[in-house]
Chains A and B, each alone.
Chain A
Amino acid sequence: MVADESPVASDSFAVVKIVGLTAGESVIFEVSPEPKKLIEVKDGIHFNGSEKKYQVVATIINWEARQFYKKKLDVPFGVKPNPPPEKPPVTPISSLYFLIIRPDGPVDMSFTKAMSLPAWATIRDGGHEYKEKTVSEAKALGYNVKSGTKIPTVITLSIVDGKSTVVRESIDFPVTNEKILELPNGVK
């Protein structure tokens, strides 16, 4: 004998089922407080009820064995379950931040021309972000270029919940549209 204590509830009507009865058993339901519109008590309780908590007492009787027992359930009928706590928005890993690090001082014209290429807009349209900083500016933010790295260079970051993770170390700064569009590729 298994009593399914999980009622099915909705705004419009509620059902309580006691299942797993062995042959010869029958069930008498009492609902307290009594709902205004009792619809059915055949294999469960079907009624229209206002949103409140009811106590359902199921009395299971086995006439042949002359046994009976009661099962009490506190059931919230028609009460909307509390929504699960909202998770903070999570930036998908596919959204990347390309930190471009270039030498301190005035910008080299070839760098300015590369930054003017239309592929950068495509990168942004794809949900990614990019920004160029000088070596000193990047260092002040905690991003250091390893010695021997050719600069300008690109460090790929994943920023989730305000925390930055380096997901790819330095790669060459792209100077063509094709190379810029390849930036998101190969990042795990």
Chain B
Amino acid sequence: MQYFLPPVFRGESAEYLPLAGEVNWGMEVLGVNHLRSIVKSKIKVGVVDTGIDKNHPLLNHCAGSKSFVPGESDYDGNGHGVHVSGTVAASDPRIGVATGFPFYHGKGLSNGGSGGSGLLNAMEWCVEQGCKVVSNSWGGGGQDMDWERRFEAMNNHPSRPWLIFAGGNSGPNTPDTDWPGRSRHLINVAALNQDLTPASFSSAGDKIDTSGPGVNIWSCKPGGGFQQMSGTSMSTPWVAGLLALYRAGLEERGMYIPTIYELREQLFNRSTDVHTPGDDRRTGPGALMAVILANALTVDPPKYVP
């Protein structure tokens, strides 16, 4: 079975970021500093995509990379892998949500943007490296029970990784989001505009677990420099970065680490409604706002005994 990058909408590029001011709108709109200000530690995160450029000045803290594409090195000849890696963990807080977190990149998609079983192998490799959150901006094809079993096996790994997936860019009239994002073993992410309305391209479906910024996202470009892209490919690393901060906060406080199934329940109750009230087919429960995740890091009061 073949999997592909969702169609990505490429925007402007630049050699240098603006020296001041907001580069990525989501940092302020989602209030990322609410989490950054109270989370002091870092965890390992993983990205499975088209490869990496470890010489990019914002990505040279990459902890490891490996190509699972026959005949291709781990270098990103596409641009998509470097972009999503930057959004998860670039060392500049204007770009990387989980700024400077150690990350691993498993190249499971070719430079042309397609992949097969190497994608699954790359995910498992990330989990074996100790990645607690793995960002996956790819999908397509139909449900595969063997893959479902391997997703479930990863969820049962002692490190309880959270596997985050893009919902797809086929628009509001789709009967469902892409597979494997809609698998119950994974977290499925939709994309939002800057005003937190659903992005026009973001696929509709019954199982969307949360939403993040996906339009005009600045991130890194192979060879240096930066470029804008839009897609659920961009909202997925955004959510992965927020969840990496959240998980690091849970771990440093010795708090319970939810399974991915419990995390889905938490996301339902911790996302903020931005479309029709409650669960909806465009944004699921809504936008993942950092202030609500940060609040969840406060220790519960003791059980009340009257």
Question: Which residues of chain A have a CB within 8 Å of any CB of chain B?
Answer: 97, 99, 104-109, 111-112, 115-116, 129-134, 137, 141-143, 157, 159, 162-164, 166
Q: Looking across the interface, which residue of chain B has its beta carbon closest to that of A165?
A: B304
Q: Looking across the interface, which residue of chain A has its beta carbon closest to that of B269?
A: A134
Residue contacts A-B, CB under 8 angstroms, 20 given: A105-B278, A105-B279, A106-B273, A106-B285, A106-B286, A107-B286, A108-B272, A109-B272, A112-B291, A112-B292, A131-B299, A132-B295, A133-B300, A141-B304, A143-B304, A162-B302, A163-B302, A164-B302, A164-B304, A166-B304
Contact status of A107 and B292, CB under 8 A, knowing A116-B31, A116-B34, A134-B269: yes
Within 8 A of A (CB), among B251-306: 268-274, 277-279, 285-286, 289, 291-292, 295-296, 298-306
Interface size class of B (residues with CB under 8 A): 20 to 34
Docked complex Cα distance between A141 and B302 (Å): 7
Query: Are A159 and B285 closer than 8 Å at their CB atoms?
Result: no
Docked complex Cα distance between A131 and B292 (Å): 10
- The number of A-B residue pairs with CB atoms under 8 Å apart is 80
Contact status of A107 and B302, CB under 8 A, knowing A112-B289, A115-B295: no
Pairs of residues from A and B, 6 with the lowest C-beta to C-beta distance, nearest first = A142-B304, A106-B285, A131-B298, A112-B272, A107-B272, A106-B273
Query: Are A130 and B298 closer than 8 Å at their CB atoms?
Result: yes
Q: Looking across the interface, which residue of chain B has its beta carbon closest to that of A121?
A: B37
* Residues of chain A lying within 8 A (CB to CB) of residue B274: 109
Question: Which residues of chain B have a CB within 8 Å of any CB of chain A?
Answer: 31, 34, 268-274, 277-279, 285-286, 289, 291-292, 295-296, 298-306
Contact status of A105 and B268, CB under 8 A, knowing A116-B31, A142-B303, A143-B304: yes
Query: Are B273 and A107 closer than 8 Å at their CB atoms?
Result: yes
Contact status of A106 and B272, CB under 8 A, knowing A112-B292, A131-B295: yes
Docked complex Cα distance between A132 and B296 (Å): 8
Docked complex Cα distance between A112 and B303 (Å): 25
* Residues of chain B lying within 8 A (CB to CB) of residue A99: 301
Docked complex Cα distance between A187 and B296 (Å): 25
Contact status of A116 and B291, CB under 8 A, knowing A99-B301, A105-B268, A164-B302: yes
CB distance from B83 to the nearest CB of A (A): 28
Contact status of A107 and B31, CB under 8 A, knowing A141-B303, A163-B302: no
Query: Are A97 and B301 closer than 8 Å at their CB atoms?
Result: yes
CB distance from B265 to the nearest CB of A (A): 10
Q: Which of B279, B303, B305, B306 contacts A106 (CB 8 A)?
A: B279
CB distance from A1 to the nearest CB of B (A): 58
Docked complex Cα distance between A115 and B34 (Å): 10
* Residues of chain B lying within 8 A (CB to CB) of residue A143: 301, 304
Docked complex Cα distance between A129 and B297 (Å): 12
Q: Looking across the interface, which residue of chain B has its beta carbon closest to that of A162?
A: B302
Given contacts A112-B272, A142-B305, A164-B302, list 15 more A-B pairs with CB under 8 A: A106-B273, A106-B285, A107-B272, A107-B273, A112-B291, A116-B31, A129-B298, A130-B298, A131-B298, A131-B300, A142-B303, A142-B304, A162-B302, A164-B305, A166-B304
Query: Are B285 and A105 closer than 8 Å at their CB atoms?
Result: yes
CB distance from A83 to the nearest CB of B (A): 30
Query: Are B301 and A164 closer than 8 Å at their CB atoms?
Result: yes
Contact status of A159 and B302, CB under 8 A, knowing A112-B289, A112-B291, A131-B295: yes
Query: Are B295 and A109 closer than 8 Å at their CB atoms?
Result: no
Docked complex Cα distance between A133 and B302 (Å): 13
CB distance from A104 to the nearest CB of B (A): 7
* Residues of chain A lying within 8 A (CB to CB) of residue B268: 105-106
Which of A99, A109, A162 neighbours the largest number of chain B CB atoms within 10 Å of its CB? A109
Q: Looking across the interface, which residue of chain A has its beta carbon closest to that of B271?
A: A106
Query: Are B301 and A159 closer than 8 Å at their CB atoms?
Result: yes
* Residues of chain B lying within 8 A (CB to CB) of residue A137: 269
Docked complex Cα distance between A115 and B270 (Å): 12
Query: Are A106 and B278 closer than 8 Å at their CB atoms?
Result: yes
* Residues of chain A lying within 8 A (CB to CB) of residue B301: 97, 99, 131, 141, 143, 157, 159, 164
